Structure 1
Amino acid sequence: MTLPSYAMNQASFPEMYERWLVGPLFRPWAKMALDELELSSGDRLLDIACGTGIVARVARERLGEAGYIVGVDISPDMLAVARAVEPAIDWRQGNAGELPLRNGETFDVVVCQQGLQFFPDRPAAAVQMRRALAKGGRLAIATWRPDDEIPFFRKLRRVAERHLGAIADRRYSFGEAAPLEALLRDAGFHEVRSRIISRTIHFGEGAPFLHLNTVALVGMSSLAKEMGDQERKRVVEAIVSESAPVLQPYTIGSGLAFELSTNLATAKG
């Protein structure tokens, strides 16, 4: 999953993302998406908006050297971490609206996990996914449900809004399944289906998660964009401190456990 540009302004963010978020937050969903797609030996897989590459890496664990896997992301910083973690995968920098594919290159499986909601031109990205998918190939796209349906994240956003005014959290900006299905049908996909999946997410340590989530919320605020670095840092610290009561009902020891829901849409080329 890629993150928007505000998160990339911090040199250490991709490393923190990989260290603290990928294992507990993104790996379980990557496994479920790939379970849905039923990978076969020799599959060629494209991971769009791959971030530090968890979908591609789980696919490699399952396919081994028999599969061919490409990960694409717009952020060179995210890709640098992806290459350091798994150099055997073909990592490419590129835009989802104009995928960096070789002449005639297609894939048996295309996956986009929690990236579509960040794309400025979603129809163009869907058309590119269709172009990348071989005839009869399988597609899976995951987008978080609206945060109004996810109490934990809704409460954290409201704490941040005390300091920053209304925040449009882009992570949950494509949360309804019907528009997602329509987007895929309009792009020429067949057998389009979707379902809502919920599960409990466990973090061994709550503090790093809270800090990273707060940084994301501050970065999505128009007011914060006008702040200097020191003022922004002060606001982050204040929001983290005031969020402690929100975390309390979800705290287990030094960790966290909360319910999270996503749409998982599948289709064929």
Structure 2
Amino acid sequence: MTLPSYAMNQASFPEMYERWLVGPLFRPWAEMALDELELSSGDRVLDIACGTGIVARVARERLGGAGFIVGVDVSADMLAVARAVEPAVDWRQGNAGELPLPSGETFDVVVCQQGLQFFPDKPAAAAQMRHALTKGGRLAIATWRPDDEIPFFRDLRRVAERHLGAIADQRYSFGEAAPLEALLRDAGFHEVRSRIVSRTIHFGEGVPFLHLNTMALVGMSSLAKELGDHERKRVVEAIVSESASVLQPYTIGSGLAFELSTNLATAKG
């Protein structure tokens, strides 16, 4: 999961997420994480907080029938899209603090891409990841760097805050590498390492991205939770309109290009 419950609960949101965000925003990092883990034929792969399942799907592309892949997410709506796109993966509903795994089920590879920052009990989630990993198995976790280091998202947040006051953007709430490494060591992982990875992200169309990002920001605002549907829609439209100046330096034709950075932590069980 990478966006708040307000956005997730909209009937059309998972389809919008899959159509507009997954390819340009999440697939490049999924490929990077799996490159780091060096999948092998026969690997059992667990994708935690899978959303519509891009990590699991890339693993499936690479392993074909020579692997067993499970995706877990708390959102039934996200999983419905995941099942429609790739029925060959075993999709399961559940949360990271209590993974829906039968007793004794373990995996060679566990990945959590941009989900850890949303978990209310991170030590419990890390312990569950460790429990799910075979001895010597490989783990990869990615969490975005703080948005103060990502000018594009920082400036979009500041536009939203003109209407809604301070917003604690959960997407960037676990942005420092040291606490991430400490969490994994405390959970019993070995060979814990992390690095910061930056790359340019390209969106073919900027307008859908802006709407979805604004929905996310509004959903994370305490003030917005008190608004009715009509007023919330008005605020979203106002923020989108005022964000045009932020997009301008990053605009290429009808699309966007901007730098984005993430922590990539790896470890062994």
Give the TM-score category using the shorter length. Answer: over 0.9
1: CA distance, partners of 2:159 / 2:8: 23
In 2, the alpha carbon distance for the partners of 1:66 and 1:33 equals: 19
Contact 1:46 1:109 in 2 (8 A): yes
Give the secondary structure class of the aligned counterpart of 1:60.
Answer: helix
CA deviations over 1:8-51 (Å, ceiling 9, x no partner): 12110100000000000000000000000000000000000000
User: Secondary structure at the residue paired with 1:261?
Assistant: strand
**Residue 64 (str. 1) matches residue 64 (str. 2):** yes
Extract structure 1 runs of 4+ deviating beyond 4 A: none
Partner of 2:41: 41
Looking at structure 2, the residues matched to 154 and 3 of structure 1 have their Cα atoms a distance apart, in angstroms, of: 16
1:109 maps to 109
* Contact 1:2-1:50 at 8 Å conserved across structures: no
Distance 1:241 1:6 in 2: 21
CA deviations over 1:198-237 (Å, ceiling 9, x no partner): 0000000000000000000000000000000000000000
CA distance in 1, matches of 2:16, 2:59: 22
- Cα offsets for 1:164-198 (capped at 9, x unmatched): 00000000000000000000000000000000000
Deviation at 1:103, TM superposition (A): 1.7
TM-score w.r.t. the length of structure 1 is: 0.99
Normalised to the residue count of structure 2, the TM-score between the two structures is 0.99
Contact 1:2–1:75 at 8 Å: present in 2 too? no
Contact 2:181 2:192 in 1 (8 A): yes
Unaligned runs of 5+ in 2: none
Structure 2 SS opposite 1:168 = coil
Structure 1 segments unaligned to the other structure (5+ residues):
none
Shift of 1:5: 1.5
- Between the aligned partners of 2:157 and 2:218, the Cα distance in structure 1 is 10
Contact 1:116 1:122 (C-alpha < 8 Å) held by counterparts = yes
- The separation in 2 between residues aligned to 1:41 and 1:218, in whole angstroms, is 43
Contact 1:192/1:266 (<8 A) preserved: yes
Count of aligned pairs: 269
Q: Deviations over 1:33-76 (max 9, x none)?
A: 00000000000000000000000000000000000000000000
User: Separation in 2 of the partners of 1:83 and 1:174?
Assistant: 29
Distance 1:197 1:2 in 2: 18
What's the offset of the Cα at 1:2? 4.2
State the distance in 2 between where 1:74 and 1:5 align. 10
Structure 1 CA distance for aligned equivalents of residues 143 and 7 of structure 2: 19
Q: Helix, strand or coil: the match of 2:197?
A: strand
Deviation at 1:102, TM superposition (A): 1.2
Q: Would the aligned equivalents of 2:159 and 2:242 in 1 still touch at CA under 8 Å?
A: yes
SS in 1 for 2:156: helix
Counterparts of 2:132 and 2:5, CA distance in 1: 25
Maintained 8 Å contact 2:2/2:171:
no
**Match of 1:247?**
247
SS at match of 1:111: strand
SS at match of 1:42: coil
- Aligned residue for 2:181, secondary structure, equals helix
CA RMSD of aligned residues (A): 0.6
